[in-house]
């Protein structure tokens, strides 16, 4: 990633396995529940008045909450608001609001539809709400690239900081699509696990477990972060984006698009394959995705290659927020010097010849890590995140 080095100085996370960095990390090492990963204990009252909460969709509430946590964690960034941007992705946006208002329209008539429908349902509401809440007036954008949105957001934000267009960015992803219609849609396309268990790379995998949540990180120019004495979790070394141009939901069987994306991310980071010390896989636990991703990783890195984990065994699949949650998992893995295991992986698919981390967390010497996200529509995104070295 040419230009200035880009540091991560703050982490905010809202997930079913834990809110806040410490609780989230503990959750990644714990036994997950079965079924959809709902945020049952999320209280918007910690960030919004009752009136405000009624006028902002759940996915945008997650974005604001995660951003507030990230800024609290980062401390006083001190960047010029005109040079501070917000890039937060979402795959679906305000589905909960849209679904409720459609019912109202059909049962009570169009005159009863909320005037707040459009600003609540639009996918950019999360980023817009964060920008307004904190007064950051630089670019405010929302990648809407399905399950790669969070990863694309972080990669795009890092480029803006590296290029000098921004001095700081709040970036990540947010999603709240656990509505009756949303779940029915994924169920009827046979994407969801019928067992309610997420089993990435397991021979018994039968689909993903849907999740909601959000994650936001603070990015700054490394020199500025050091100058203010900030805690630095790591740096973004590289990012890449490609398209399969193959099928609206299925990945290329040979993982060609994923291969190109991983290779471009490594080139952007100016790293060779032997320098990658961990891969946080997309690992959704769907039969086609895991097979294609495993084949792609093997093509790029050989077998067994670097250690591979899928944190979706715990978090479930949070769609547009997934890549951001996984970037946070990588940063905490670097900080805690452990690779979290792939929950639900008891019987490795014999066609997968990777070094899969399972059973127990694995101690490691932190180094450059690749985080993969592959979404419906053939959207591929990869990040390279590493400890900061002089």
Q: What residues are paired with 14 via a beta bridge?
A: 19, 214
Q: Of 140, 317, 379, 382, which is the active-site residue?
A: 317
pLDDT surpasses 90 at 219: yes
CA distance 124 to 132: 12
Q: How confident is the model at residue 390 (pLDDT cuts 50, 70, 90)?
A: confident
Hey, how many other C-beta atoms are within 10 angstroms of the C-beta on 117?
A: 18
The predicted-structure confidence for 229-284, as pLDDT tens digits, reads as follows 999 999 999 999 999 999 999 999 889 999 999 999 999 999 999 999 999 999 99
pLDDT surpasses 90 at 1: no
Q: Is 106 a catalytic residue?
A: no
Mean pLDDT of 143-155: 98
Asked if 82 and 137 count as a contact pair (C-beta separation under 8 A), the reply is yes
pLDDT surpasses 90 at 386: yes
pLDDT surpasses 90 at 220: yes
Mean pLDDT, the chain, whole residue set: 97
All domains of the chain in start order, with CATH:
6-386 (3.40.47.10)
pLDDT surpasses 90 at 18: yes
pLDDT surpasses 90 at 175: yes
Q: Of 17, 147, 261, 382, which is the active-site residue?
A: 147
Q: Of 140, 261, 282, 379, which is the active-site residue?
A: 282
Q: How confident is the model at residue 209 (pLDDT cuts 50, 70, 90)?
A: very high
Q: What residues are paired with 216 via a beta bridge?
A: 12, 172
**Structure token digits, residue 1:** 């990633």
Q: Is 347 a catalytic residue?
A: no
Q: How confident is the model at residue 124 (pLDDT cuts 50, 70, 90)?
A: very high
Q: Is 317 a catalytic residue?
A: yes
CA distance 364 to 367: 9
CA distance 165 to 125: 23
The predicted-structure confidence for 276-327, as pLDDT tens digits, reads as follows 999 999 999 999 999 999 999 999 999 999 999 999 999 999 999 999 999 9
Instruction: Look at residues 314, 236, 233, 232 and name the one whose alpha carbon lies nearest to residue 23.
Output: 314
What share of the chain in percent tops pLDDT 70? Answer: 100
**Structure token digits, residue 39:** 């945020």
Higher pLDDT, 390 or 12: 12
Mean pLDDT of 331-351: 98
């Amino acid at each position: 990633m040419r230009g200035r080095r880009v540091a991560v100085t703050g982490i905010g996370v809202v997930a079913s396995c834990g809110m806040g960095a410490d609780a989230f990390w503990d959750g990644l090492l714990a036994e997950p529940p079965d079924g959809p990963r709902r945020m049952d204990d999320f209280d918007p009252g910690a960030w919004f008045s009752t009136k405000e909460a009624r006028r902002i969709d759940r996915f945008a509430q997650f974005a604001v909450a995660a951003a507030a946590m990230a800024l609290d964690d980062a401390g006083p960034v001190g960047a010029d608001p005109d040079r501070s941007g917000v890039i937060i992705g979402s795959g679906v946006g305000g589905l909960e609001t849209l679904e409720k208002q459609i019912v109202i329209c059909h049962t009570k008539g169009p005159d009863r539809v909320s005037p707040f429908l459009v600003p609540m349902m639009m996918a950019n509401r999360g980023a817009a709400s964060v920008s307004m809440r904190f007064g950051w007036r630089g670019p405010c954008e929302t990648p809407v690239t399905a399950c790669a949105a969070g990863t694309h957001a972080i990669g795009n934000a890092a480029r803006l900081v590296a290029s000098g267009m921004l001095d700081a960015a709040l970036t990540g992803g947010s999603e709240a699509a656990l509505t009756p219609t949303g779940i029915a849609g994924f169920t009827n396309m046979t994407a969801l696990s019928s067992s309610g268990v997420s089993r990435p790379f397991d021979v018994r995998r039968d689909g993903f477990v849907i999740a909601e949540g959000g994650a936001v990180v603070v990015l700054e120019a490394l020199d500025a972060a050091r100058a203010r004495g900030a805690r630095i979790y790591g740096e973004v070394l590289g990012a890449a984006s490609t398209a399969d141009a193959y099928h609206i939901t299925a990945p290329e069987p040979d993982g060609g698009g994923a291969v190109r994306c991983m290779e471009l991310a490594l080139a952007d980071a100016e790293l060779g394959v032997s320098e990658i010390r961990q891969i946080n896989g997309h690992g959704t636990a769907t039969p086609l995705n895991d097979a294609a991703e495993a084949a792609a990783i093997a093509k790029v890195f050989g077998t067994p290659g670097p250690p591979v984990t899928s944190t979706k065994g715990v978090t479930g699949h949070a769609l547009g927020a997934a890549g951001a949650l996984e970037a946070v998992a990588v940063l905490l893995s670097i900080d805690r010097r452990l690779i979290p295991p792939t929950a639900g992986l008891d019987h490795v698919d014999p066609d997968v010849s990777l070094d899969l981390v399972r059973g127990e967390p694995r101690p490691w010497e932190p180094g450059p890590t690749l985080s993969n996200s592959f979404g419906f529509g053939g959207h591929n995104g990869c990040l390279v995140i590493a400890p900061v070295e002089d």
